[in-house]
Amino acid sequence: MNFKCAALTSQKWLWAMLACLCVDSASAADRPNILFIFTDDHAPHAIGAYNGWLKGVNPTPNIDRLAAQGTLFENSFCTNSICGPSRAVILTGKHSHLNGFMTNGNRFNGDQQTFPKLLQKAGYTTAMLGKWHLSSNPQGFDHWKVLPGQGDYYNPFFLSANGREKVDGYCTDIVTDMAITWLNEQRDKDKPFMLMCQHKAPHRCWMPPLRHLNLYNDVEIPEAPTLFDKWTDNASPARFQEMEIDRHLHLVCDVFGPMPAGFDLTKQNTDRSGIKNMERMTEEQLKAWHAAYGPENEAFMKANLQGDDLVRWKYNRYIRNYLRCVKGVDESVGRLTDYLKEAGLDENTIVIYSSDQGFYLGDHGWYDKRWMYDESMKMPLIVKWPGVTKPGSRRTELVQNLDYGETFLDVAGAEIPADMQGKSLVPLLKGETPDDWRKSVYYHYYEYPSVHMVAAHFGVRTERYKLIRFYQFDEWEFYDLKEDPDELTNQYANAKYADEIATLKQELARLRKQYNDDSQHSVMPAEWRDKFRPAAPVKSR
């Protein structure tokens, strides 16, 4: 090649490189921002758009509006229904046994691969604000400020790279303020952003904002249809749990009922965070609190309720406080989405609303989560992606929190590592259903013996059927969800379903192999089962 040709070739190469750089720059500018709003213990049936038995209360007009503008997933599930593990699954796109965070007592290894780190490499600026609940400090974020542990509802402490500080106010409002401040003043505006705005609410002990302490007082809250379930057809672990509104929901510590003379908080074997938080409330906050609950507590004392009436009183106080906390979250969603519109960011920002798992709102007589039954296994998932998601659309495919990280990477145009175990939801958001989309989901809960005494179990769920194995007790459950959506009748011993059960056992084995779950699942010796089981249920009613 002569020098003239070499120069021309070099010149063409240079222009080509410049053209590529311009294209890359343009595509980076066009990549959507991601606002991931995440709550704790928000059951789908406490969201109006999910049309559950609480829809008449209408606690979520802003979340409902988001659903009307985007896509709602009707069959969205977690892989392990408990706070920390669900968050670890989302960050890593891997099941609990692989990301190392199997129970709330674990510590997340932040050195491992996570989707925020991968988004940073792809050119995104990232932030994490609010409830973290993974023990170790966040990694993969340009900015973070998180609650220590479970955090407090009132005047909470926050941890950041600069240390620990107390912020006066109500937690949901504070986290929302922080999110808007970061979006407006602190982020790198030359990059697309991914903001994780994560609320404590509506987690136990369900302390509403002052403005909502009397909300729903004049509204008749529907009674959970299975509030007085006696679990006669379940495997034995359902009868030996410690999460009943009847026997375990604490009258003082959980629902802020009247405190008897000589009450000693240190001797209460329950979650005491709410009462402890009250000790740090301001005089003005406490005055408003007592003004709201005092008259109700006096009336309760005079009524001397017993049996079913006492259960119903506790349920009504609990469900109202829960929904009042949800109302604060819904207002946060409204503030954040309104800000996006005012700032001119809404047309290029994907907004996701989800929660770490479902929750029992009196269903089966329970509160909390953990089980593979749908009330705790189902997660809300609503996505608004302007120009992509069809407004008001609903998807029925089986999806999991295992898929979130892969979806965020796909949205960003980043490579999805082969060792992530979920699937990108982008095709579903575009209205497509891939031919190879999953027909079943795998679940594994590990934390036993522990809080609420829910036995360890794993299982498989398809669109219609569910098979659960409580392996420590060597017991099985099988449900036909079409015929029995409330999972009241265990059909494991019904010969009619023998073929379906055999098929699901094969599918369970396949999924355990696919997800490399070789974690221990041995049967507990009989003498150990009796040792760890709590006392047999004795109803107060």
* pLDDT tens profile 435-448: 999 999 999 999 99
What's the DSSP call for residue 378? Answer: B
Residue 527 has pLDDT above 80, yes or no: no
Q: Which residue has the tokens 């407004």?
A: 391
Is the bond leading into 225 cis (omega within 30 degrees of zero)?
Answer: no
Residue 10 has pLDDT above 70, yes or no: no
Q: Residue 291: how many CB atoms within 10 A of its CB? A: 12
Topology adopted by domain 451-532:
Arylsulfatase, C-terminal domain (3.30.1120)
Q: What is the rounded CA–CA span in Å between residue 150 and residue 100? A: 20
Q: What is the pLDDT of residue 535?
A: 61
Q: What is the pLDDT of residue 537?
A: 58
Question: In 430-525, where does DSSP find H-type helix?
Answer: 498-514
Most confident of the following: 55-64, 384-393, 525-534? 384-393
Do the beta carbons of residue 72 and residue 49 sit within 8 Å? yes
Residue 16 has pLDDT above 70, yes or no: no
Residue 293 has pLDDT above 60, yes or no: yes
Instruction: Name the pTM for this structure.
Output: 0.93
Per-residue confidence band for 58, with pLDDT thresholds at 50, 70 and 90: confident
Q: Residue 221: how many CB atoms within 10 A of its CB? A: 18
Per-residue confidence band for 523, with pLDDT thresholds at 50, 70 and 90: confident
Lowest mean per-residue pLDDT among 47-56, 96-105, 326-335, 375-384: 47-56
Q: What is the mean pLDDT of the chain?
A: 93
Per-residue confidence band for 482, with pLDDT thresholds at 50, 70 and 90: very high
Q: Which of 47, 49, 41, 36 is nearest to 115 (CA)?
A: 36
Mean of pLDDT values over 53-79: 95
Q: What is the pLDDT of residue 484?
A: 98
For the segment(s) 31-208+321-440, the CATH number from 3.40.50.11600, 3.40.50.720, 3.40.720.10, 3.20.20.140 is 3.40.720.10
Q: What is the pLDDT of residue 7?
A: 37
Start-end of CATH 3.40.720.10 domains in the chain: 31-208+321-440
Mean of pLDDT values over 405-418: 98
Per-residue confidence band for 520, with pLDDT thresholds at 50, 70 and 90: confident
Q: Which residue has the tokens 């507590």?
A: 297
CA distances from 507 to 112, 461, 467 (A): 30, 10, 10
What's the DSSP call for residue 182? Answer: I
Per-residue confidence band for 90, with pLDDT thresholds at 50, 70 and 90: very high
Q: What is the pLDDT of residue 333?
A: 98
Of 156 and 24, the structure prediction assigns the larger pLDDT to 156
Helix (H, G, I), strand (E, B) or coil at 226: coil
Q: What is the pLDDT of residue 29?
A: 56
Q: Which residues contact 344 (CB under 8 A, 6 or more apart)?
A: none
Do the beta carbons of residue 201 and residue 153 sit within 8 Å? yes
